Structure 1
Amino acid sequence: MKVLIVDDASTVRMYHRNVLEAAGYVVDEAVNGLEALEKALENTFDLYIVDINMPKMDGYEFLMQLRSEDIDQAPAIMVSTEAAELDHTKAFTAGANLYMVKPIKPLQMMTYVRLLVGEESV
């Protein structure tokens, strides 16, 4: 399983990478939505973990662009410090499958990751 982490904060990318790689996932990273879109068009990912607030292209715009492309679509988890209901709504409208508020505990993250990629059932 291949996951793309999209976040402008290197510490957040490293944290998510460590959790995912410890669970056996292959991980790639992008520092903004523009870089992520380029990677998504060149590679196939099984899951996207996407921050909202990033330079060049934010997480909402990335997901809207991604969902408009004629490529295999993978689930996306929007991860942010933004906790307002409006942020949740905007994320789902943009194409997110799940919204999580930082900080995320590893067990919680892996439970949702496994559910979204079909490795676990409810």
Structure 2
Amino acid sequence: MARVLVVDDATTVRMYYRDVLETAGFAVEEAVNGFEALEKAIEQRFDLLVVDVNMPKMDGYAFLRQGRRMPELQAVPAVMISTEAGPQDRTRAFAAGANLYLTKPVRPETLAGIATLMAGAAS
């Protein structure tokens, strides 16, 4: 079973992503910020990262930049999902290490389909 790490400070967003991804057959772990996500990535293997941009303590950009320097996360596909919709936001996400950038809200079938394609390529 492919494993997804969902990184978002909003409880309702994490619950929504968990529900969609578990229904699609994924095992899901959650982190509330980039620091917690880095700790979990050291302890466990993931096939996909779903990352918010705006979070306290460590935002999504910083998490991906640091994560891409870690052997555990270098090749793990990352989807950054944010309310920030400007072209500069997309550019910053890719520069930080995201493989895909989506704006909220993301439809359940879109999230499940992307996760299946990206995590399937990793596992």
TM-score under structure 2 length normalisation: 0.93
Structure 2, unaligned runs of 5 or more: none
Paired amino acid for 2:28:
V
Q: State the partner residue of 1:85.
A: 87
Q: Distance in 2 between matches of 1:94 and 1:51?
A: 13
Aligned residues: 119
Deviation at residue 112 of structure 1 after TM alignment: 1.1
Deviation at residue 41 of structure 1 after TM alignment: 1.0
The percentage of counterpart residues that share the same residue type is 58
CA RMSD of aligned residues (A): 1.0
TM-score under structure 1 length normalisation: 0.94
The answer to whether the aligner puts 1:98 opposite 2:100 as a matched pair is yes
Question: Secondary structure, in 3 states, of the residue corresponding to 2:54?
Answer: coil
Q: Distance in 1 between matches of 2:49 and 2:110?
A: 16
Q: Distance in 2 between matches of 1:53 and 1:116?
A: 23
Deviation at residue 109 of structure 1 after TM alignment: 1.0
Deviation at residue 49 of structure 1 after TM alignment: 0.2
Question: Secondary structure, in 3 states, of the residue corresponding to 1:96?
Answer: coil
Deviation at residue 24 of structure 1 after TM alignment: 1.1
- How do residues 27-46 of structure 1 correspond to structure 2 at under 5 angstroms? 27-46=28-47
Deviation at residue 71 of structure 1 after TM alignment: 2.2
Q: Distance in 2 between matches of 1:64 and 1:117?
A: 20
The answer to whether the aligner puts 1:20 opposite 2:21 as a matched pair is yes
